[in-house]
Amino acid sequence: MQNTSLRHRFWNQQQKIAPYLFIAPFFLLFIVFMGYPLISSLIMSFYEMRGFQSKIFVGLDNFTDLLRDPVFWKSLWNTTYFALGTLVLQLPIALFLAILLNSKYVKGKNFLRLAFFAPVLVAGVFVAIIFNLIFDQRAGLINNEFLLFGKEIGWLSEGRYVMPAVILTGVWQWAGFNMIYFLAGLQGIRQELYEAAAVDGANWWQCFIHITLPSLKPVIAFVFVVSMIGSFQLFDLPFILTNGGEPADAGTTIVMYLYKNGFQFMRLGYAATIGWVLFIIIAVISIAQLRLLGIFKEE
């Protein structure tokens, strides 16, 4: 009887411990690859570090210096410009492509779906190299078209055209990716809603405004937030397209400026400060977007 009681107690203890053992690998990996680097970078942001040899505690000086840094503000403007530009262009295009592929009148949907999604499968480095050739001032495909109207644009050599060129490249690469999210959302909408609206005499536009968009609200919120986060982490496209932010930092983004300080100038403490400021910016923007889209409101 006593052995049965001990066996039962041992079995209960195993059942209590088992869930923690299953989730332990995740927490272990998170602590090693996320928790420790986060804490280390926060500590580094309070030091002036020239490489790993020189380390001087400066408190909040890195943060105050960053707020007075004109290159940081220019990189922040460039990143915001890219984020807003891609949202304005990319999301309507992605939604239009999703509606097109969700229509029963379009043939070859599988091929078109693959064709629109294919740019995502190409590495950002190769996309940047391809568009570097397309935007070439002398022999580029786009400039050849503009020359027909007697105008030659230095897409990657004139500061005012650099970010529009990067935006067009980003839209080409990622519109098909967001299209998949919208397509999944459209296919999840019940057809009975459209049939009922048609019986009441609603046209296509009225169905789109009153059924499609409200039903896609969670998908739109997700795509908005993820696209904004991805835009603020932009690095490879402008780095290769603009040869490191040229001319005159016209193509420099926040992540690129972080990279320059950390790996070119070896100002590791300052780079860590930029990283934490970027984290705060992304967190604030994401929460603001979710509130504006009404995600926190109870239905």
Residue 69: what pLDDT?
92
Q: Please report which confidence band the pLDDT of residue 145 belongs to, taking 50, 70 and 90 as the band edges.
A: low
Q: Please report which confidence band the pLDDT of residue 151 belongs to, taking 50, 70 and 90 as the band edges.
A: low
Average pLDDT of span 190-194? 85
Mean pLDDT for the chain overall: 84
Give 211-257 pLDDT, tens digit per residue: 888 888 888 888 888 888 888 988 888 888 888 878 888 888 999 99
Q: What is the DSSP letter of 242?
A: T
CA distances from 226 to 170, 189, 198, 242, 295 (A): 14, 22, 34, 25, 14
Residue 217: what pLDDT?
86
The CA-based angle 60-250-261, given to 5 degrees, is 35
Distance CA 65, CA 47 (A): 12
Least confident of 32-46, 148-162, 277-291: 148-162
How crowded is residue 246: how many other Cβ atoms within 10 Å of its Cβ?
A: 15
Report field, pTM of the whole predicted structure over 0.95: no
Q: Is the pLDDT of residue 167 over 70?
A: yes
Q: Is the pLDDT of residue 299 over 60?
A: no
Residue 294: what pLDDT?
67
Percent of the residues in the chain that have a pLDDT greater than 70, as a whole number = 89
Distance CA 125, CA 288 (A): 32
Instruction: For residue 162, give the amino acid letter.
Output: V
Distance CA 153, CA 146 (A): 8
Q: Please report which confidence band the pLDDT of residue 150 belongs to, taking 50, 70 and 90 as the band edges.
A: low
Residue 249: what pLDDT?
85
Buried b vs exposed e over 122-160: b needs ≥16 C-beta within 10 Å? eebeebbeebbebbbeeebebbeeeeeeeeebbbbeeee
Give 272-290 pLDDT, tens digit per residue: 999 999 999 988 888 887 7
Q: Is the pLDDT of residue 182 over 90?
A: yes
